[in-house]
Amino acid sequence: MKVTINDVAKLAGVSIKTVSRVINNEESVRQNTRDKVMAAVTELNYQPNQAARNLAGTKSYTIGFIYDNPNAYYIIDMQNGILSECRKQGFELVIHPCNSKSSGILDEIKEMIKQSRVTGLVLTPPFSERPEVIAMLDALDVRYVRIISGGSRQQNDESCVVIDDHQAAHDVTEHLIDLGHKDIAFIGGSEEHQSSFERLSGYQAALSERHIAAPAHYVVDGDYSFESGVAGANKLLELSQRPSAIFCCNDETAAGALFAARLKNIRIPEELSIVGFEDSPFSRQTWPKLTTAHQPNLEIASQATSLLIANTRNQSAQDICKQFTPQLVVRDSSQQALS
């Protein structure tokens, strides 16, 4: 027989309303009462019916995740991180992939919110960095947390989890400089992502601080794809003074650059160092394995979801990390520059 909320209330010696308040993690319940209810929940192995909770009143227990990102590994990590926190806190997850460049994207998001009755949204780039999306959500009074690329200036914003791409890119570039590289090129990412500009600015800042020139032709546009890594590397390796190292805006791009270099019989890393960013499976599936910057996407997604749920409950979020700096991971694709 299925255990009901009535069974939990009877065993704990409290009202059904009190059980509901404990399950919903409302702060107004005394700790000893909360402990009795949770002991009953554990003993009876009670599983709240999320759909019934959503239909029973005006409060929703569903988190929405909308995205448009070509990196499948990134999306899978985000989904898993959000889902793990939803399960931990008794929420459901609605996943809604869509085309950020569609002319009707705002209406599509609005309709998704209406149909799914989400209590809030976890937003990743490019949606998290588009003012028109944020303005619409504010007008609809929908809670959200934005995962964005930025710096310490935003770390106290209760609606943001910030990735310090600038500092991480600075660290990656400095690693190459410390290996003796001076001719360091850069293959960028998609223009609609702020991370592309932050990583470029971190690369440029590191070179400037070490008084190393960064010729304009050493910076090549890309779009966070394997193909753009191939195209960018081919362009750079045809220069009369080709670079001794290439910093790629993500690992997929770096894998493409490595592929292009090998087709030209350029030895990696003996003749050319190639580094990536994010520490996705691409960085470990290439040969040699890529030096990169580890971006903990599972943890970032989990923290963003925890922050969103805390905001919907008007709870303090002081213990939630709201800023991450990807950390340098040195592998086999970078080594000392040839003298």
CATH number assigned to the domain comprising residue 106: 3.40.50.2300
What pLDDT score was predicted for residue 45?
A: 81
- Examine the domain organization and report whether 22 and 123 are in the same domain: no
Q: Which tokens go with 45?
A: 């192995």
Q: What percent of the chain has pLDDT over 90?
A: 58
What is the identity of the amino acid at 215?
A: P
DSSP letter, residue 45: T
Domain assignment present for residue 100? The answer is yes
Taking the CB of residue 181, how many other CB atoms lie within 10 A of it?
24
- Examine the domain organization and report whether 152 and 256 are in the same domain: no
What length is written for the chain?
Answer: 339
| pLDDT tens sequence across 191-221 | 888 999 999 999 999 999 999 988 999 999 9
- Examine the domain organization and report whether 241 and 272 are in the same domain: yes
Domain assignment present for residue 270? The answer is yes
Residue 70 has pLDDT above 80, yes or no: no
| pLDDT tens sequence across 173-188 | 999 999 999 999 999 9
- Examine the domain organization and report whether 209 and 313 are in the same domain: no
- The tally of domains found in the chain comes to 3
In angstroms, the CA 149 to CA 156 distance is 14
3-state secondary structure of 125: coil
Averaged pLDDT score across all residues of the chain:
88
- Range of weakest confidence among 12-21, 136-145, 327-336: 12-21
**Contact present, 324 and 300 (Cβ < 8 Å):** yes
- Examine the domain organization and report whether 253 and 242 are in the same domain: yes
What pLDDT score was predicted for residue 159?
A: 85
In angstroms, the CA 287 to CA 333 distance is 8
The residues, ordered by sequence, that sit 6+ positions from 79 with a Cβ below 8 Å of its Cβ are 65, 93, 95, 301
Domain assignment present for residue 321? The answer is yes
- Examine the domain organization and report whether 301 and 282 are in the same domain: no
- Examine the domain organization and report whether 242 and 209 are in the same domain: yes
In angstroms, the CA 163 to CA 112 distance is 27
Domain assignment present for residue 334? The answer is no
What pLDDT score was predicted for residue 280?
A: 92
What pLDDT score was predicted for residue 178?
A: 97
Among the listed residues 252, 256, 165, 181, the one whose alpha carbon sits nearest the alpha carbon of residue 213: 181
When pLDDT is cut at 50, 70 and 90, the band that residue 55 belongs to is very low
Q: What is the span of the domain harbouring residue 25?
A: 5-48
The structure's pTM equals 0.80
When pLDDT is cut at 50, 70 and 90, the band that residue 156 belongs to is low
In angstroms, the CA 283 to CA 120 distance is 33
What is the identity of the amino acid at 146?
A: R
